[in-house]
Amino acid sequence: MITEVVKANELTKVDPVFGQASFNDHEQIVFCHDKDTGLKAIIGIHNTVLGPALGGTRMWKYANEWEALNDVLRLSRGMTYKSAISGLNLGGGKAVIIGDSKLDKTPELITRFGQFVNSLSGKYITAEDVGTTTPDMDLIRDVTPYVTGISEERGGSGNPSPVTAYGVYMGMKAAAMHQFGSASLDGKRVLVQGTGHVGETLIDYLTKEGALVQISDINQARMEEVGAKYGAKIFMGDDIYSADVDIYAPCALGATVNDETIERLKAKVIAGAANNQLANENIHGKMLQERGILYAPDFLINAGGIINVYAEIAGYDKVEAMKRTENIYNTTLEIFHFAEANGVTTQQAAMSIAQKRIDDRKKEMAK
Ligand code: NAD
C-alpha cells in the first residue's frame, strides 16, 4: 500500500515542501487541522489542467508527518497521469488523514475533513481509498458536493473494485496479444498475488477464460476461500517471483518489481492492479525491457476504478463505465506500439502520452 516511503532523516535534509523530490511541480498543498476532532490531513493538488483534481483520501498511521507528506505528493501526481492516460477530464489530487482508521476515525473527524474539501470549491474532489469507506464518503457528501464513490442508495457509483478488475483483465489480454500473439488467456499460466477485492474478480475472469491460475495471499483464510470458489491453485513454492508462469499479476502491494525480484522473474508479462508496481519507474522499467518482460503500466490498466467514479461527475451509467473500461485494451496496445516505435519503456510511453495530453490542453487554454 505505502511504497517508497523515505526515511525521516533523509527527508529532513532538504526543504520541507518545495524541496522534496516528491513535490514534483504540485500546484497546491493544503494542510488541514482541527483541534476538536483531532484531524490532521494533507490535500495534494498536483495538476488541474485537464479538470478538477480527483483522488481518494487515505487514512493511515504514518510514522511521522514527513512520511504522510511524501505519500500524498507521490499519490496525487500518480492520479494526474492515471486520469490523463484514461482520457478523463480530471486532474490529479489525493488526500491523507494522519491516524489509525480503526482507532482514530470518528464521524466528526470525517465531517470536518469534508468541510475542508468543500472550502476548496471543487478544485479537489475526494473519493475512498485505503482506510476510508463508502459510508465515510456519504458523511462527506452531507457537507460538500465535491465527493465521489458515495453509496448507490445515494446515487453514487458503488464499489469500484469489480470495474478495476475488468480493466486489469483487459490490459492483461492486450499484453498477451502483444507478447504471445493472441489475446486469449486460455491455457496461460497466471500468478495472482493478492486475492482481495480486485484480485478476486480478476481470478473470476481468468478462470472463466480457461487460464491456469495460481494465487498467493498473506491472508491464508481468504486465499483458501477464493481458491476453492474459483478452482484456482494455491501457490505452494517458497518464492512467488520465480514461479514458472507466463503472467505475473501483482494485486496486493506496490514496489514488488525491484532489484531483487526482476532477476528471478520467469513470467514474460506483468499486468496487475497494484499501484506503483515498479520500485523505481525508470530503473526497473528499463530492466524489464532489457529482459524482454512486457510490463503493462499499472496506472493505465488499473484505471477502471476512477473511470467508474467519474460517472458520478460526467453522468454516465455502469454500462458506459464498463465500455470505457474495456477500451483499456486498445489504449494498452497503443502504448506497447508507441514504446517499441520510440525505443522507450512501456512506463515511459504511457507517461509521455499522458503528459502530451496535458500539454496540448494547456496550449489550447493559452490561445
Ligand atoms: P484489498 O485490500 O482488498 O486486497 C489486497 C490483498 O492483498 C489482501 O487480501 C491482502 O491480504 C493481500 N496481501 C497483502 N500483502 C500481501 C503480500 N505480501 N502477498 C500476498 N498478498 C498480500 O485491496 P484491493 O482493493 O483488492 O486492491 C489491490 C491493489 O490494487 C492495491 O494495491 C490497490 O491500491 C490497487 N488498486 C485498487 C483499486 C480498486 O478499485 N480497489 C483501484 C486501483 C488500484
Q: What is the pLDDT of residues 323-338, one digit of tens each?
A: 999 999 999 999 999 9
Pocket test for ligand 1, best of 253, 260, 306, 309 (most atoms within 8 A of CB): 253
Distance between CA atoms of residues 150 and 138, nearest Å: 5
User: pLDDT tens digit string along 42-90?
Assistant: 999 999 999 999 999 999 999 999 899 999 999 999 999 999 999 999 9
Q: How confident is the model at residue 16 (pLDDT cuts 50, 70, 90)?
A: confident
Helix (H, G, I), strand (E, B) or coil at 190: strand
Distance between CA atoms of residues 172 and 295, nearest Å: 10
The one-letter amino acid code at 367 reads K
Distance between CA atoms of residues 69 and 62, nearest Å: 10
Residues 6+ apart with CB under 8 A from 226: 195, 199, 200, 203, 215, 217, 232
Torsion angle of C-alpha atoms 78, 83, 89, 94, degrees rounded to 10: -40
Distance between CA atoms of residues 155 and 130, nearest Å: 22
Q: Looking at the CA of residue 222, tell me the nearest atom of ligand 1.
A: 9
Residue set of the binding site:
194-199
Q: How confident is the model at residue 1 (pLDDT cuts 50, 70, 90)?
A: very low
Question: Any alpha helices (H) in the chain, and if so which ranges?
Answer: 8-11, 65-85, 107-119, 134-141, 161-180, 197-209, 220-230, 259-262, 281-290, 298-301, 304-314, 318-326, 328-342, 346-366
Q: Is the CB of 133 under 6 A from ligand 1?
A: no
Give the percent of the chain with pLDDT over 70: 96
Give the chain's mean pLDDT: 94
Indicate if 40 belongs to the active site.
Answer: no
Q: For residue 69, give the C-alpha cell.
A: 507528506
Distance between CA atoms of residues 179 and 166, nearest Å: 20
The length of the chain, given as a count of residues: 367
Q: Is the CB of 305 under 6 A from ligand 1?
A: yes
pLDDT tops 90 at residue 243: yes
Walk me through the domains of the chain, giving residue ranges and CATH numbers: 4-154 (3.40.50.10860), 161-303+330-354 (3.40.50.720)
